[in-house]
Amino acid sequence: MDALVDVIQNHIEYAPVIIFGVLLLAGFNIPVSEDGMLFIAASLAIKNPEILTDLFLAVYLGSYCSDLICYGLGRLLGPNILQIRFFAGMIRQDKIDKIHDYYQRYGILTLIFGRFIPFGVRNGLFLTAGLGKMSAIKFACSDLFACTISTLSFFSLYYHFGTAVIEYVMEFNIVIFILALSVVGYVYLRKGKH
């Protein structure tokens, strides 16, 4: 990550393009931290206020387009994606079924909360939405709303508070992750009783 930051800082005029491009890789499940890119973009915006808007748009559109790519992979490749070694370890059929059930029950809330859950959960949600044949328009609109909330929130926090807020954001993400696991556990246990 440090090497990427150095490249971006040394070529600040291309920073928005680099950030956008790197985020697109995340859509193909290349391990790129969206949170890291948000922090880098906000940090660069502090030092280079003349490109603040460009940096925000790069990270926002990069995140959104990345989600669409991941959804598209699931939608276009369907269950065959699970035969590809790179994707096979990421998600199993039972997880696809569970997440699909959450989409059916909670709709947009699944995406909103899912965007705040780290540890690779985001891409699993987007891939599963595609695999579950969620309507492309419904996904695009729901994710646009969810992406707007999360990107604007984190970019603003990082821009205004810098590194001082990172620990709090990490703790918040862990709390959201634990809450999500608790809900999954609760739903699973309830299903077992019926």
**10 Å Cβ neighbour count for 12?**
15
User: Binning pLDDT at 50, 70 and 90, where does residue 25 land?
Assistant: very high
pTM > 0.85: no
Q: DSSP characters for 6-42?
A: HHHHHTGGGHHHHHHHHHHHHHTT----HHHHHHHHH
- Amino acid sitting at position 29: N
Give the pLDDT confidence of 144-187 residue by residue, as tens digits.
Answer: 999 999 899 889 988 888 766 666 666 665 665 566 556 656 65
User: What is the identity of the amino acid at 25?
Assistant: L
